[in-house]
Structure 1
Amino acid sequence: MKKIYLLSILAVTVLLASCGHGGQGELVGSYNRKFKNQRIPLGMVYIPPGHTPLGGSDEDITFSQAGPSRMTTIPAFFMDQTEISNAEYRQFTKWVRDSIAIVAMGYPQQYMMTQKGAAANALGGEKYIDWRKVGNGSSIWSGKGKGANAANASQLDNMYYSGLDALPGKKEIDIRKLEYTYGILNFDKAALGHKDPNSKRQDYIDRYSIAVYPDTMVWKTDYSYSQNDPMVRGYFNHPSYDDYPVIGVSWEQTQAFAHWRTQLYQGVASARKMPANARADYRLPSESEFEYAARGGNTKTKYPWGGPYI
């Protein structure tokens, strides 16, 4: 017992000595490495934190309480300066299109990342597309890229309209097959079941497969008795409308776009060795955030966008 007692005292002494190293015996905290990020994401503006009244600020019908104003505190965030354009959303659809094509062709080496040594071990055997080699995807679909062959080109036949769905003399991609698959951790589910000893992390992961091509038929369905056929055919793809807002995108498609944009940004952030907790996630703004940004610090206007006299 005496030996065990002495060894225990020695262990505690060594432990206390090691804890005091570097902090002079004081609690100094454990901090992540220094990180300074003053770069505003491209096309976005910085919205500083603050508090603002939300809701109606004009006279209301007596005792109706239809739109009571409430004070809300908003943390800082970045917000797109303009709506997402056709060109920006088209980058997403083409990324999905080319990803599906490369997988269908069996991951041709000319489009894949090549790593050696420690970098290859870090990938853990996973295959990653080198988007610098893919470019605008023309080499994939023309079949004229380096190392391209008839076998690879034939594996893309299933991505085109066929049979009675195809127009005579035209070879068009079946937009119904352009699906983006992703998964997110649902914190609401995790909060309800994380104390269950039988639960697993996979129980809280929501997985989605979303068709990403916008509904161009809204030009017909939203505008009855109108001659909008040219807009159906050309609004999303014609160069003249590149900087116009994308339309015909559902909430589910917007969520998929935000997830893809997050992954696009985090890929570069990881290469630059930015801390994981400093990499921004993209999402839709909440109602409070949108109204706060629209007011621009003006809390006396009748509406968030102003009033009859601004």
Structure 2
Amino acid sequence: MKKLTALIAVCSLILGSCGSKNRGELTGVTGKKWHPEKPYGMVLVPGGSYIMGKQDDDRAKMNNAPTRTVTVRAFYMDETEITNSEYRQFVHWVRDSVVRTKLAILADELGETPDNEGIGEFAFKSADTTDISVYEKYMLDNYAGLGETGYEGYKLNKDVDLIWEPQEYPDEYYAEVMDSMYLSPEETYNGLRTIDVTKLKFKYTWMDIEAAARDKKGSRKDFLKNEITEIYPDTTVWIKDFAYSYNEPMHNDYLWHDAYSEYPVVGVNWYQAKAFCAWRQMEKNSYQKDRNKQQVGVWRLPSEAEWEYAARGGIEGATYPWGGPYILNDRGCFMANFKPMRGDYAADQALYTVEAKSYDPNDYGLYNMAGNVSEWTDTAYSLGSYEFGSTMNPNVVDNSNQRKTVRGGSWKDVAYFLQVSTRDYEYADSARSYIGFRTVQDYMGTNITQN
């Protein structure tokens, strides 16, 4: 027994000293180098305190935004609303992933491998185990296939381009999968078959940290939430939102025509906006992982307090993002896209939305924080939330409350809703032709605060 103890001690000494560069001192654990990098298309909003709420006349007598001083941490924010072009990138990714998954499953059922031609080229990468690491092999043998489909954990082969032209389909199995993605011939007209958008679903998992932090008895898995969201925008909002009005061109063309690529996406409900954030996070961190780089901060919807702080652009007591209290500049031009006169939507040179980078940005470099489209926030709407919300990074999260705060006013709203302190709401599962969104990302590292 003494010999065994001595052997363990010697081994521990050898293992503890070999390759050690700290000379026995407390030097900490060195990780990957982190260099804060401003995300593409975003601006840094420095953290700080401000007076949140109605600092001028509450003409609507809502009494839902009493003034109070709050403090928010630094964050990045999209300089514009998310555009049609940017959201289409999300739609394309989901569409392609659904098609690749269908192809891979059918290839597996047929016993095809990536070495075979035809549909076999789209088989799961894990079907060929010759080039995978020991760890990947272990994970595949022990954890893959745990889920609803039995293919969870299998890697899709994205090295082969999808084929969209019917005359170029490699075999009948590929044709079978592609046919399942489109509307039936009975549902088409003008000879054009289109994708069945109800099949474009994005699945992601998030953790309810608020609930987990307050429940010491629950297991971690009890707070993991699996979301499956249909991500295609509701283009019919252009018809449904306006009775007895001709808006069919917007319904037909607004989302997909290149003429509207840089316009803000609309017809997206709160859940779809959250799914977009999760996808953006996953896409970027997948890129980081492939290059052995540090993971980036979380993309999410802004809290109501963050949105108002960013909209004010560092101007205390501002009525509008450009200061206030006027909606015309010194040349007599309107400073935002809204409804300035009764029935005259075009007085500001715009009938519907305008390009996301229109008008002058505020002092943080953010465009259209007033007008164009209202914007979803992460905050649940409550008349009295200012009374009980925290004064440090306030955000009322209530998953049972379907009313979510929207801010900024839109192209069809009067000036009151453009004011930085005006609160409004919409139901989370509702999509509108005048509501879009922009995202934020937490700033990590040295604290950046405004003087």
- Matched-pair contact (CA < 8 Å) for 1:49–1:76: yes
Residues 59/216 of structure 1: CA separation in 2 closer, same or farther (3 Å cut): closer
Structure 2: runs of 5 or more not aligned: 106-118, 141-152, 328-451
> In structure 2, do the counterparts of structure 1 residues 57 and 130 end up closer, same or farther at CA, with 3 Å as the change threshold?
farther
Summarize deviations over 1:58-77 as a string: whole Å, max 9, x none. 3679xx97643222221111
Contact 1:143–1:153 (Cα < 8 Å) also in 2 = no
Q: Percent identity?
A: 35
Q: Give the 5 Å matches for 1:112-151.
A: 117=131, 119=133, 121-122=135-136, 124-125=139-140, 126-129=153-156, 131=158, 133-134=160-161, 137=162, 139-140=163-164, 142=166, 144=168, 148-151=170-173
- State how far apart, in whole Å, the 2-side matches of 1:143 and 1:75 are: 55
- Rounded to whole Å, the distance in 1 between the matches of 2:159 and 2:74 is 34
* Alignment partner of 1:268 is 2:266: no
Q: 1:186 to 1:141 in 2, by over 3 A?
A: farther
- Aligned CA-pair RMSD: 3.4
Q: Report the structure, 1 or 2, having the larger helix content.
A: 1
Q: How does 1:95-106 map to 2 (within 5 A)?
A: 95-106=93-104
Going from structure 1 to structure 2, the CA distance change for 1:171 and 1:267 (only over 3 Å counts) comes to: same
Mean CA deviation greater in 150-159 or 254-263: 150-159
Q: Which moved more, 1:154-163 or 1:284-293?
A: 154-163
Tell me how far apart the structure 2 counterparts of residues 80 and 227 of structure 1 sit (CA, whole Å): 32
* Number of aligned positions between the proteins: 289
- Structure 1 window deviating more from structure 2 (279-288 vs 160-169): it is 160-169
Name the CA shift for 1:235/1:301 in 2 (closer, same or farther; >3 Å): same
Residues in 1 aligned to 2:46 and 2:134: alpha-carbon distance in whole angstroms: 42
1:60-71 equivalent positions in 2, closer than 5 A:
67-71=65-69
Aligned counterparts, 1:55-204, within 5 A: 55-58=53-56, 67-106=65-104, 108=119, 110-111=121-122, 117=131, 119=133, 121-122=135-136, 124-125=139-140, 126-129=153-156, 131=158, 133-134=160-161, 137=162, 139-140=163-164, 142=166, 144=168, 148-162=170-184, 164-167=186-189, 169-193=191-215, 195-196=216-217, 199-204=218-223
User: For 1:158-189, what per-residue CA distance to the aligned partner results, in whole angstroms no more than 9, with x for missing partners?
Assistant: 22222643447332211111111111111123
1:118 Cα deviation after fit: 5.8
CA contact (8 A) 1:50 1:74 kept: yes
Three-state SS of the structure 1 residue aligned to 2:299 is coil
Change (3 A) 1:166 1:240: same
When structure 1 is superposed on structure 2, of 125-134 and 175-184 the one drifting more is 125-134
Distance 1:234 1:76, change over 3 A: same
CA distance in 2, matches of 1:90, 1:228: 21
Instruction: State TM-score, norm by structure 2.
Output: 0.56
Tell me the distance in 1 between the aligned counterparts of 2:79 and 2:47.
Answer: 17
